[in-house]
Amino acid sequence: MSRPPALTDPLLDTLRGRVCASTSDTHTSTEVFTGGELAVLPASSVTDVRTAYERASRAQREWAARPVEDRLAVFHRFHELLLRDREILVDLLQAETGKARRDAFEELCEPALVTSYYLRTARKLLRPKRRAGLMPGAIGVTELRQPKGVVGIISPWNYPFALALGDLIPALIAGNGVVCKPDSQTALSPLFGADLLYRAGLPEDLLQMVLGDGPTIGGAVVDTCDYVGFTGSTRTGALIAARAGERLIGCSLELGGKNPMIVLDDADIAATARSAVRGCFANAGQLCLALERIYVPDAIFDRFAAAFVAEVGRLRQAAGYSYGADVGSLTSRRALKTVSEHVDDARAKGATVLAGGRPRTDLGPFFYEPTVLTDVTPDMLCHASETFGPVVTLYPYATEDEAVALANDTDYGLNASVYGRDPVRARRVAARLRTGTVNVNDGYAAAFGSTDAPMGGMGASGLGRRHGAAGLLRYTEVQSVAAQRVDLVNPPRWLPHGVYSRLMAATLRVMKKTRLR
């Protein structure tokens, strides 16, 4: 058994106890740095998912009736506990994903930022709002935000804590119960997050954790819950949208990307190269927002390529539970296989490997070197499909229009990046890109860390947005309550309908002109 220092037997028992599972089935997760056994966790059945839904639903009624201030008090305490216990969490995250410690620490910042953002804004976002009635004084209209009920959160393995907690916290704040299904390989950190929330005072049963295989247990979550917040691949997202559509429930889908970066000809080459390595190789490239395509002007291509490759050469890749490594491991054998296939295919078809290009099994079973390719053509796997690993391709371009067209030449539309000294020009180019977020002079953190701004994907990268008002309000139903004081719609008995309709037509004309409403 290979375990990080923080994963003691009592902690493991506590985390196991947070899974809603009634059978003796189990799943064994892997300690990624060594490939050894990490933890044996209970597996849920379809019946357990229904039980989880019913428990969460019962607890939700009382929770939704509480004033928002009372609900927020739990998240104040959660935020404190999260920062206090951060090193335990970082250990768990590293063990189950193989990420570098700095990436694991960066991951816990997302739920911390999301929590403090909604602590500041939820009261205002959720409070009833007066809307204009048909006629002032005659009808008083109030817009209410009702919780959906029980929200299903289905999350992937690459940022297992950030993506589960960052999405389920606003669902709870909005007054919902939650059934959360993380990936089984990376369940320790979301279970730890659930435990922190309960220690912070979340009512018993409101948040249910279920574990198991995606199609069966994830499918059961979609078949039972009242709304689904999904993060994962585009292929699974499409299945979930279809299934949610059959039940006429809403869903938000945060999916894959093939994210472009444009270097403008006025960019500071050294600073751009230094910043871009983080955008490409954070979390060993297993980041939905990671940059996989870099477009560089012909005139500075060679200089930029040399500076970028030099920066890549400075990255320290290592296993271990201490700060120091810049790049960690891939999370699974499957990820290593995809990355190796993409690079080998590109090399075999004539691409040039400027840096990396090999697995590093001397460091750990799933490590792969940060890799830079050029001369990549459309027949190569890594040209258009998501590699989701530490592989980036440099492409030359002649004009700004060509760079924009190449960047937009994809079904995806998640994240993009533009580097240049002239901020007005860089923002103008940014606005021409078809992606949900664009970072100017940064890879991804500027947009992702700005929790007041919505974030999500266009096209094959998803539907809906997390963060900002949209990230909370997606978990609510809008209800308009119109209280009539004077009956304007039904004419008095003594007034003939013909006269009434003429009077109404005249009134409608006046209302258009005077905006009398």
Binding site for ligand NAD (CB under 6 A): 154-159, 163, 181, 183, 214-215, 218-219, 222, 231-233, 236, 239-240, 254-257, 288, 386, 388, 414, 457, 462
Structure tokens at 114: 């999301």
What does the alpha-carbon distance between residue 517 and residue 106 come to, in Å, rounded to a whole number? Answer: 49
Residue carrying structure tokens 């929790």 = 451
Work out how close the CB of 435 gets to ligand NAD at its nearest, in angstroms, rounded to a whole number: 11
Between the CA atoms of 137, 138, 144 and 149, what dihedral angle is there, to the nearest 10 degrees? 160
Q: Which of the residues 96, 106, 254, 292 is marked catalytic?
A: 254
Work out how close the CB of 235 gets to ligand NAD at its nearest, in angstroms, rounded to a whole number: 7
Structure tokens at 9: 């037997």
Burial 407-423 (b: 16+ CB within 10 A, else e): beebebbbbbbbbbeee
Work out how close the CB of 231 gets to ligand NAD at its nearest, in angstroms, rounded to a whole number: 5
What does the alpha-carbon distance between residue 267 and residue 13 come to, in Å, rounded to a whole number? Answer: 53
Work out how close the CB of 356 gets to ligand NAD at its nearest, in angstroms, rounded to a whole number: 21
Output 278 or 466, the one with its CB closest to ligand NAD.
466
State the burial class of residue 479 (Cβ atoms within 10 Å of its Cβ: 0-12, 13-18, 19+): exposed
Output 257 or 297, the one with its CB closest to ligand NAD.
257
Output 292 or 326, the one with its CB closest to ligand NAD.
292
Output 91 or 183, the one with its CB closest to ligand NAD.
183
What does the alpha-carbon distance between residue 391 and residue 213 come to, in Å, rounded to a whole number? Answer: 28
Work out how close the CB of 206 gets to ligand NAD at its nearest, in angstroms, rounded to a whole number: 21
Contacts of residue 108, defined as CB under 8 A and 6 or more positions apart, other chains included, come to 82, 86, 89, 90, 93, 161, 162
Output 257 or 370, the one with its CB closest to ligand NAD.
257
Work out how close the CB of 447 gets to ligand NAD at its nearest, in angstroms, rounded to a whole number: 12
* One-letter identity of residue 21: A
Work out how close the CB of 140 gets to ligand NAD at its nearest, in angstroms, rounded to a whole number: 40
What does the alpha-carbon distance between residue 195 and residue 166 come to, in Å, rounded to a whole number? Answer: 15
80 is catalytic: no
Output 100 or 426, the one with its CB closest to ligand NAD.
100
- Which of 270, 287, 277, 276 lies closest to 315 in space, CA to CA? 277
Output 115 or 186, the one with its CB closest to ligand NAD.
186
SS3 (DSSP) at 352: strand
Structure tokens at 349: 């078809």
Secondary structure in 3-state letters for 112-153: HHHHHHHHHHHHHHHCCEEECCCCCCCEEEEEEEEECCEEEE
Residues with active-site annotation: 254
